[in-house]
C-alpha cells in the first residue's frame, strides 16, 4: 500500500486505532456522502424492449448502478464508450478506498511469501469482487474478467497463490485495455504463469534425445493465441518450447540468500543462459536464427500474436463474450481484420464491437455467469458490501469461486455448465432483496421511493430499473401477486430476464 493511501486511511480511522468494522462503517459513510449510494430520484425507460443504453451497461459494464443509466443517457453512448476506454481519466477513489487495506496485493512476489495463504486468497478474491461492484472503470473490470479467464491461473496449484497477486496487477490489469502483444509477453514472463504451466522447469537437457517441457508452449498456441484449430503442428509446439527454455523462477530462496545482490530475488522471473537452447528454431514457417538468447521469447510472441489465426481466435472469443454464443461471421471478420491492422490494439477491437449493429441486436441472449450475476444484482440494488465470506460463499455455491478453475482454459462462457446452480441464484436473489446476506446491506425501500413516490407505480418502475424495460402485463401481474415488496424485488432479480444480459 502506498504511503498516501495509508495516511488517508489512518486519518479516517482516527490514527488507525479503530477496528476493521469501524473502518468499513466510515468508508461507507464517506462513499454515500460523495455519491456512491442510491440517488433520491431515479429515471427508467418506458419501452417494452430493452433500452439500448441499458444493454450497453449490461455488457460493457457489470450492470447499471443506480443513476448510471441516466448519466449515460445524458452523455451519449459514444462518449461513454470513449470515457471507459480511458480508465486512467476516471476518478476511482471511492472504490479503491473500500479495498485499501488489502496490503498483500501491493507487494512483489518474493515479499508475498511473508503472508499466509489464506490472507492472500481472501484479499485477491475480495478485491476482485469489490472492484467489479464499485469501480467507475467498468469496462476495464469487464476486460479484467475476460483476460483472467483467457490467461487462467489456479491459485491452488503450487506457489501460484503467492504469485498471482502481482500477475493480476502487472499482467492482467496493466494490459487489459492495452496491446495484445504486450499482454502475452508479460504473461509469458509472469512468475505465476511460469509456475502454473511448468515453464520454470523448461531447460536444455543433458541428453540430446530429451525434449524441452512443452506444457506452456502448447497452451500458448492452443489457448492464448492461435486457438486449437489455428493451424499449428506438434513440431511448432516443440520449437516454441525451445524458444522458451531458460526462463525460470526461483521459489526456494530464503531471507539470507536474498541479501546476495548477485542472485535473482525469490519469486521473480529471470533468464538462465545455460538452460537455453540457443540453436536455430522454426515456428509457423518463420526462422528464428541461432544465438538469439533471451530475445527468442520476444520473437516467438511476435510470430504467434501476428498470425491471422490469432486475430480470428481472439475476435471470436470477444464477440462470443460481448455479442452472442454464435457471433455473426461478418462481425468476427471485421474484428479479426482490425486485430491484424492494429497489431492487437484491444481498445480498437472493443470500440468496433460496442458500436456495431450486431451488438445492439443481441439483447438478452447471454446467460450471466455467476460472477456477473452476483455483481450485477449488487449494483442494481446499490448494495453496501466489503465482500466478506458470507457473500463469497454464494459464488462458490454457484460454481465460480474466483481464481479456482483447475484447467488452463478458464471458466466456460457457454450457459450449459451453469444451469445446475440456478437454485443458488434464486436463493441469493431473495436473500439480497430481504437483507438476509450477512455483511451485505441494501435499502430496497429507498430504491423504490427514488423511482416513484406513488407505491402503485413503483413495481413497474422497479422492474424497468432491474431489467431495462417495462414489464409485460403477465409479468407485472405475477409479481404483484407476491406477498410483500421484498419478495417482489427478489422475484425480479431471480427472473430469467435479469439472469440474461
- Digitized pLDDT (tens) for each residue of the chain, 501 residues in all: 444 434 433 333 333 333 446 789 888 888 888 888 899 999 999 899 999 999 999 999 999 999 999 999 999 999 999 999 999 999 999 999 998 889 999 988 888 999 999 999 999 999 999 999 999 999 999 999 999 999 999 999 999 999 999 999 999 999 999 999 999 999 999 999 999 999 998 987 655 566 799 999 999 999 999 999 999 999 999 999 999 999 999 887 654 445 555 567 889 999 999 999 999 999 999 999 999 999 999 999 999 999 999 999 999 999 999 999 999 999 999 999 999 999 999 999 999 999 999 999 999 999 999 999 999 999 999 999 999 999 999 999 999 999 999 999 999 999 999 999 999 999 999 999 999 999 999 999 999 999 998 877 999 999 999 999 999 999 999 999 998 999 999 999 999 999 999
The last residue of a domain, from among 306, 332, 348: 306
Note the pLDDT of residue 12. 35
Q: Are residues 376 and 497 in the same domain?
A: yes
Q: How many Cα atoms occupy the beta-carbon half-sphere of 274 within 13 Å?
A: 1
User: Is 102 contained in some domain?
Assistant: no
Sign of CA dihedral 26, 30, 36, 38: positive
Q: Show the cell assigned to 314.
A: 481472439
Bridge partner residues of 286 (DSSP): 283
Contact indicator for 154, 405 with CB cutoff of 8 Å: yes
Domain that holds residue 288: 191-306
Interior CA angle at 453 toward 452 and 457, to 5°?
55
Residue 98 located in a structural domain = no
At residue 210, the pLDDT reads: 66
Q: Is residue 323 part of a domain?
A: no
Residues 369, 498 within the same domain: yes
Q: What is the 3-state secondary structure (H, E, C) of 152-215?
A: CCCCCCCCHHHHHHHHHHHHHHHHCCCEHHHHHHHHHCCHHHHHHCCHHHCCCCCCCCCCCCCH
Q: Where are the alpha helices (DSSP H) in 34-159?
A: 52-60, 68-75, 77-84, 93-98, 109-112, 117-134, 138-150
Residues 414 and 483 placed together within one structural domain of the fold: yes
Both 385 and 291 in one domain: the answer is no
381 and 494 fall within a common domain? yes
Domain end among 287, 306, 325: 306
Is the domain of 377 the same as that of 492?
yes
Is residue 294, in this structure, part of any structural domain at all?
yes
In the three-class reduction of DSSP (H, G, I as helix; E, B as strand; rest coil), residue 288 is classed as strand
Q: Are residues 495 and 382 in the same domain?
A: yes
Would you state the torsion angle of the CA atoms of residues 190, 192, 193, 199, taken in this order, to the nearest 10 degrees? 90
Residue 144: inside a domain = no
Q: Is 21 a domain residue?
A: no
Whether residues 287 and 379 share a domain: the answer is no
Judge whether 359 lies within some domain. no
Looking at the 3D structure of the chain, how many domains does it have? 2
- 397 in a structural domain: yes
Same domain assignment for residues 371 and 299? no
Residues 482 and 414 occupy one common structural domain: yes
Do 380 and 255 share a structural domain? no
302 and 368 together in one domain: no
Using left for φ > 0, alpha for ψ between -120 and 50, and beta otherwise, residue 364 falls in left
Nearest 5°: phi and psi at 332?
Answer: -55, -45
DSSP 223: I
Please identify which residue in the block is written with the cell numbers 440494488.
381
Amino acid at each position: 500500500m502506498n504511503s498516501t493511501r495509508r495516511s488517508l486511511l489512518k486519518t479516517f480511522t482516527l490514527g488507525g486505532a479503530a477496528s476493521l468494522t469501524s473502518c468499513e462503517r466510515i468508508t461507507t459513510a464517506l462513499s454515500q456522502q460523495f455519491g456512491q449510494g442510491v440517488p433520491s430520484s431515479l429515471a427508467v425507460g418506458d419501452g417494452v424492449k430493452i433500452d439500448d443504453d441499458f444493454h450497453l451497461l449490461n455488457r460493457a459494464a457489470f450492470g447499471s448502478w443506480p443513476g448510471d443509466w441516466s448519466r449515460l443517457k445524458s452523455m451519449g453512448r459514444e462518449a461513454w464508450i470513449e470515457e471507459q476506454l480511458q480508465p486512467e481519466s476516471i476518478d476511482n477513489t471511492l472504490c479503491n478506498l473500500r479495498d485499501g487495506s488489502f496490503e498483500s496485493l501491493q507487494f512483489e512476489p518474493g515479499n508475498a511469501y511473508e503472508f499466509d495463504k489464506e490472507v492472500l486468497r481472501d484479499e485477491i478474491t475480495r478485491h476482485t469482487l469489490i472492484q467489479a461492484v464499485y469501480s467507475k472503470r467498468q469496462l476495464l473490470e469487464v476486460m479484467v474478467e475476460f483476460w483472467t479467464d483467457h490467461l487462467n491461473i489456479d491459485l491452488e496449484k503450487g506457489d501460484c497463490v503467492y504469485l498471482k497477486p502481482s500477475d493480476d496487477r502487472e499482467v492482467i490489469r496493466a494490459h487489459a485495455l492495452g496491446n495484445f502483444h504486450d499482454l502475452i509477453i508479460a504473461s509469458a514472463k509472469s512468475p505465476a504463469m511460469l509456475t502454473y504451466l511448468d515453464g520454470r522447469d523448461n531447460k536444455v537437457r543433458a541428453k540430446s534425445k530429451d525434449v524441452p517441457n512443452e506444457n506452456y508452449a502448447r497452451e500458448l498456441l492452443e489457448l492464448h493465441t492461435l486457438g486449437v484449430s489455428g493451424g499449428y503442428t506438434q513440431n511448432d509446439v516443440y520449437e516454441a518450447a525451445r524458444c522458451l527454455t531458460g526462463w525460470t523462477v526461483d521459489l526456494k530462496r530464503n531471507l539470507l540468500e536474498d541479501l546476495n545482490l548477485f542472485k535473482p530475488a525469490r519469486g521473480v522471473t529471470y533468464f538462465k543462459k545455460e538452460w537455453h537452447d540457443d540453436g536455430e528454431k522454426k515456428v509457423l514457417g518463420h526462422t528464428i536464427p541461432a544465438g538469439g538468447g533471451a530475445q527468442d521469447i520476444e520473437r516467438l510472441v511476435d510470430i504467434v500474436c501476428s498470425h491471422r489465426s490469432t486475430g480470428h481466435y481472439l475476435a471470436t472469443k470477444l464477440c462470443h463474450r460481448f455479442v452472442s454464443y454464435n457471433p455473426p461471421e461478418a462481425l468476427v471478420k471485421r474484428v479479426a481484420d482490425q486485430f491484424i491492422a492494429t497489431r492487437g490494439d484491444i481498445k480498437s477491437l472493443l470500440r468496433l464491437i460496442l458500436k456495431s449493429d450486431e451488438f445492439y441486436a443481441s439483447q438478452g441472449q447471454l446467460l450471466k455467469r455467476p460472477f456477473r450475476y452476483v455483481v450485477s444484482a449488487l449494483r442494481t440494488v446499490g448494495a453496501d458490501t466489503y465482500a466478506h465470506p458470507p457473500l463469497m460463499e454464494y459464488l462458490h455455491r454457484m460454481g465460480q469461486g474466483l481464481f479456482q478453475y483447475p484447467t488452463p482454459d478458464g471458466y466456460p462462457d457457454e450457459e450449459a455448465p451453469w444451469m445446475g446452480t440456478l437454485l443458488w441464484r434464486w436463493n441469493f436473489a431473495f436473500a439480497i432483496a430481504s437483507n438476509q446476506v450477512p455483511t451485505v446491506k441494501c435499502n430496497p425501500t429507498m430504491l423504490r421511493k427514488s423511482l416513484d413516490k406513488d407505491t402503485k407505480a413503483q413495481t413497474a418502475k422497479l422492474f424497468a430499473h432491474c431489467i431495462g424495460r417495462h414489464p409485460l402485463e403477465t409479468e407485472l401481474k405475477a409479481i404483484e401477486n407476491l406477498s410483500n415488496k421484498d419478495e417482489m424485488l427478489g422475484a425480479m432479480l431471480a427472473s430469467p430476464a435479469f439472469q440474461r444480459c
